[in-house]
Amino acid sequence: MKDMDPKELLVQYGHILAFVVCIAFNGFWFMKSGDEMAERLITKVDSTQRKLKRKLKEKPKDVKAVADYSKSVVANWSISKEVSQSPGYQSIYPSANITFEHEVPPEDQWINKPSGISIKIGKEKITVNWKRPTTLRKNGKVQQMTKIEGYQLIKNWKDRDGKDRTKEFLFRYGKTSLVDKKVETKTLYTYKVRAYSYNAEAKGGKEGKIKDKKAILSDFTKTVQGKIKSLYEIELLGVAGDSAFVKLRRYYRGSNRETTCNIKKGQEIQALNVKVKGLKKRINFTPGWKLINLTTRAQRKKMVKEKVFSHMDKVTKRAVYKTVEKPRLYETPAIIYIDEKKQQVKAYQKK
């Protein structure tokens, strides 16, 4: 190795020497730069400390006290316990078209007529009663009923001039009766009722209007009729010559009072100053009627049942009969009188 030429040594070991020199240079540079960074950091920290010390030594400026307005605010603050009403959901969403308590679409609901109607005749009034609609069955299945809003009742009669009259009554769902006091004696009144619903899509009815609002109307019930009884009633007991023997009844103080009397043709049918059972004072029977005619041979017609031949039975070869009704005339005593409405009334003697 001592005999080797320096150029050969440089060629053989030059890269190792270059590596050692690079390492030494980099180490020196990092050490130098690290010292400079540390010096700059120390200088910055020292400057910040000096600034803080100067700030601490400065006297604070005078600051005015902030006014406390809380007491005034509390004294003048009226507390309201009422809650303002927020908009209802109806203003945001349209009302649902459901009219039945169950969750059934309106088009699948049904309407039915009231299940029954009856009438009761009093002395000065007529009472009509009906029942609420019952469940409806279609094809063996129970149908869901729609909500019934109420009932429409129709009253018909003829006035004193013979003109047809009609009056409508409307009732809520829970009301199922009418007490009709606007009635006159000897006038025939008829009544019928039906249910209605504002579910315009309900089945089983027909469209109409109730209080100018579209509705579905059920069928009517059967028609019932009645005639208000007069305060007075007459019963023919017999006829002899120009006189009629009659029984008069008067509705007085909750009961029927009656008496008998003879009335001649052309006279007023009345009985005055009559003593009746159950009353201390005497009363008058004055219906305002007048006897204008009487007979012992008034013809009447009644229906009688008779058996008549029908056909021959092919098996038994015997005659088969059937029962039929045929009219038959007969004679009976009768009277004709003018009532309080100036109408002629015929009364027959009962057998």
Q: Tell me: the pLDDT tens digits for 155-176?
A: 999 988 889 999 999 999 999 9
Mean pLDDT value across residues 84-88: 57
For the chain, the domains span 106-227, 232-348
CATH T-level topology, domain 106-227: Immunoglobulin-like (2.60.40)
Q: Under a CB-based contact definition with an 8 Å cutoff, are residues 106 and 146 in contact?
A: yes
Q: Structure tokens of 338?
A: 């003018």
What is the DSSP code (8-state) at residue 108?
Answer: G
More confident residue, 342 or 69: 342
112: closest CA among 48, 9, 205? 205
* Strand residues in 66-149 grouped as ranges (E): 114-121, 126-133, 136-138, 141-143
Q: What is the pLDDT of residues 247-281, one digit of tens each?
A: 999 988 878 899 999 999 999 999 999 998 888 89
287: closest CA among 187, 182, 185, 188? 185
